[in-house]
Structure 1
Amino acid sequence: MLRKWLSCTLLVLIFFANIVHAENQPIRIIFVGDIMLDDLPGKYIQNGKDPFASFASLFKSADLTIGNLECVVGTTGVAEDKPFVLRAHPRVLPILKNYFSALSLANNHSGDFGPTAFSAMLDLLDASGIKYFGGGRNLQEAYAPIFFDIKGKRIALLAYNLFFPRSFEALEDRAGSAWGEDDYVREGIRRARDVNKADIVITYPHWGWENEKLASANQVALAHLMIDSGADAVIGGHPHVTQNIETYKGKTIFYSLGNFVFDSFETEDTNTGWAVEMTIQPDSTISWKIIEAKLDSNGIPRNNGQIKLP
């Protein structure tokens, strides 16, 4: 009996020791920019190739990997009246599941085939076990943060679209993405921290003007509002190029990570993106690394190694 008691006690001690050890370890999160899996990247996957192969070891070594899914996934719906509509085949889902902890749906292409196709995509993502944020079947779901409890910390992620058409916006009774209204942004960040007790809050906005290397005044104003409201970092996308980095009140703002998987671009800037590694220490201090991605003629990223923060 004594031996059995000692054995159980030892197992309990080992269990709690492992928890304490985990809580004293840094958390690593990888963020990438726009992922478009239609057209040439879609054909690349159809041919049995892996568009993320060059970054596989980096992704797999992280605690979380986050990206922006810049297309509809599915086979249904009617194309919106706009210059470019993007829709990937559901065959891409296993690859996304293999690499990404969660994907943002808050962008200007997730609604390219209408709200019914958007809802169908949510069903596909759910069935595949792929987590998402910044979009949902109604307004409440779209604006809800996604939470990850890792190594003793609660991480909250919120995504917002700020690039038209606004017809993709989720409503009380319509599926869609989260639109970046100031009041919703403030309240979302506040609730994530104060109500849901997040230790780290990160916003992931889709904003800015295409091909502009410097953030606009509107981007800067909203980024500052996010930090003022309690965000610990702001990591943006959409302009198809990387943009400037700012430190505001000790918090880092990446205005755009640029393209990550995306074809049909021709310039050096549009074929260069960043994978950003965020390291959160046990005392909640944060540090950053940038790994450069160079896109080939198929829009597939190649790991070009770490670069200095500009």
Structure 2
Amino acid sequence: MVTRHPYLPRIARAAALALLATTAAGCGLLDSDSAGEADGAPAFTVAAAGDILIHPQLTEQARKDAKDAGSTDTGGKGIDFDRTMAGIKPVISKADLGICHFEPVVGKPQGPFQSFPDFLVPPQITTTIKNVGYDTCSTASNHSLDHGPAGVRRTLDALDAAGLKHTGSARTREESVKPLILDVKGVKVAQLSYTLGFNGREVPADKPWLANRTSFDKIAAAEKAARAAGAEVVILSIHWGREHHPDPGTPQLKLARRLAEETGIDLVIGHHAHVVQPMEKIDGTWVAYGLGNQLARHEVPSGLTEEGIIGWFEFRKKGDGWDVQARYVPTLVTIPPDADESAGPAGAAGTGTEPDSAGETPGVKDHRLVNVAEALRDNKQLSDQERARYRLAFERTQGTMLNRGASKDGLKPLQDLPG
């Protein structure tokens, strides 16, 4: 049962929501309970974010954070991603349903680990994903088959152990055909997950159900199956598009229109580009073409690859369907300068810092995932360079979000950029 607020006393709920609404610069979507109660219509909120893809630098950061916290547990606590992802917890944990996109394959708790092209990452990241407030993850990606059926099983076992639901890959045929349907404030919400391919790998002939490859017909059939199983809302997570291109490609645009016009899917959330792509409302259906990276550290950071968004969607029952309002939260992964390199420019490496007269680099010291608007408002210790970098991330993301005309349909940031 994916329900948070109803378990709190009404007064505590109201106080918590009022506090969060204050930080949201007057945007009332965070106060989903009172909105739903006002007219008696079923309502719930969804927070969905981009690719989680753990590169070696992030694992080393997690080792450092665990050591700094005094952990000596080699069974798992020696790698801890909680501090890295803590900056987004206030948003994700307040949504009624948190959806992550888990792209890589997990290994054993102490490794060995691998990076591009065949990812094998610490399973400890799944615990952090749960800790920040996610409820479910899509697992169909171009890396799903990096380590074959054993990798799929190990990854799904780790998500299970962390208490996370998942869809997009499967350990058995029976698991693959059972729709994932979650109870969200009394509403049955289904999640689907599909990917454009597997980096040239083929799904094993004797296990065609191992991971979902994109096909309009298969997606349409999966939506119908979810409806037949009782789903009132269907959300599609889709791994598609061109990597590192902020503009959606023609295949994305065509498929998005077919999904919006020829299926009953209520929301499409996209991944894979590793950079933010716009949102667009098509025939009444919101399509987030690309949410960018939630957490990643590419070998050559581009500035764009450190930026992402959390999509925030409020669903409210309206007649026989659902009215969906869309917002977005710009995020940024801060990257400390490499030990053997000076810091890069603000728009490139994501630091915007230079050594001072003592040879020390001010500002960014650790890899951290931050909510840009909150950090600008609340963190009084930011250097001028950091503030400039954060504002760049917010403004660039905002321009991308709106470049297919979504402002006319009400798309705006969940939290405004501080003055």
Question: Is TM more than 0.5 here?
Answer: yes
Which residue of 2 is the match for residue 286 of structure 1? Answer: 324
The corresponding residue for 1:199 is 232
Residue of structure 2 in register with 1:305 after alignment: 373
Give 1:43 deviation, angstroms. Answer: 2.3
Asked if residue 59 in structure 1 is aligned to residue 76 in structure 2, the reply is no
Select which of 264, 276, 287 maps to 2:311. Answer: 276
The 1:72–1:272 alpha-carbon spacing in structure 2 relative to 1, beyond 3 Å, is same
Relative distance call for 1:25 and 1:187 in structure 2 (3 A) is closer
- The 3 A distance-change label for structure 1 pair 79 and 295 is closer
Match in the other structure for 1:33: 50
2:253 pairs, out of 208, 216, 220, with 220
Higher strand residue share: 1
Are 1:33 and 1:67, in contact at CA under 8 Å, matched by a contact in 2?
yes
Tell me the distance in 1 between the aligned counterparts of 2:184 and 2:306: 33
What are the Cα deviations for residues 271-301 of structure 1, in whole angstroms up to 9, with x where unaligned? 2111000111243211011000112116642
Distance 2:202 2:136 in 1: 20
Q: Spell out the pairing of 1:164-183 with structure 2 (5 A cutoff).
A: 164-165=198-199, 167=201, 169=203, 173=207, 176-183=210-217
Q: Match of 2:334?
A: 296
Contact 1:238 1:258 in 2 (8 A): yes
Distance in 2, Cα, partners of 1:53 & 1:166: 35
- What is residue 122 of structure 1 aligned with on the other side? 156
Residues of 1 paired with 2:301 and 2:127: CA distance? 29
- Choose the corresponding residue for 1:255, options 289, 296, 301: 289
Quote the offset at 1:143 in angstroms.
Answer: 5.6
Distance 1:213 1:182, change over 3 A: same
Q: Using the aligned pairs only, state the percent identity.
A: 26
How much does 1:269 deviate? 1.8
Q: Do 2:179 and 2:225's aligned partners in 1 also have CA atoms closer than 8 Å?
A: no
Partner secondary structure for residue 110 of structure 1: coil
- Aligned position for 2:223: 189
Deviation at 1:231, TM superposition (A): 0.6
Worse-matched range after superposition: 65-74 or 265-274:
265-274
Secondary structure (helix, strand or coil) at the match of 2:251 reads: helix
Partner of 2:171: 137
Q: CA RMSD in A?
A: 2.8
> For residues 104 and 171 of structure 1, do their structure 2 counterparts lie closer, same or farther at Cα, with a shift above 3 Å needed?
farther
Task: Write the letter of the residue equivalent to 2:44.
Answer: I
Q: Which residue of 2 aligns with 1:4?
A: none
The answer (yes or no) to whether the contact 2:267–2:287 under 8 Å persists in 1 is yes
Which secondary structure does the structure 2 equivalent of 1:285 belong to? strand
Gaps of 5+ in 1: 1-19
* Counterpart position of 2:342: none
SS in 2 for 1:27: strand
Residue number in structure 1 paired with 2:352: none
> Quick check: 1:143–1:158 contact (8 Å CA) kept in 2?
no
Counterpart residue identity of residue 313, structure 2: M
Between the two proteins, the alignment pairs up a number of residues equal to: 289
Is the CA contact (8 Å cut-off) linking 1:134 and 1:144 kept in structure 2? no
Are 1:109 and 2:147 matched, yes or no? no
Corresponding position of 1:12: none
- Aligned-partner residue type, residue 232 of structure 2: D
Q: Partners of 2:325 and 2:221 in 1: how far apart?
A: 26
User: Which of 272, 282, 290 does residue 238 from structure 1 map onto?
Assistant: 272
Tell me how far apart the structure 2 counterparts of residues 161 and 234 of structure 1 sit (CA, whole Å): 13
Query: TM-score if structure 2 supplies the norm length?
Result: 0.63
Q: Which amino acid aligns with 2:126?
A: L
Q: 1:170 to 1:63 in 2, by over 3 A?
A: farther
- Indicate conservation of the 8 Å contact 1:116/1:175, yes or no: no
C-alpha contact (below 8 Å) 1:275/1:290 kept by paired residues: yes
Unaligned runs of 5+ in 2: 1-35, 67-81, 336-365, 375-393, 403-419
The SS at the match of 1:236 is strand
Task: Tell me by how many angstroms 1:32 deviates.
Answer: 0.3
- Please give the TM-score of this superposition, normalised by the length of structure 1: 0.83
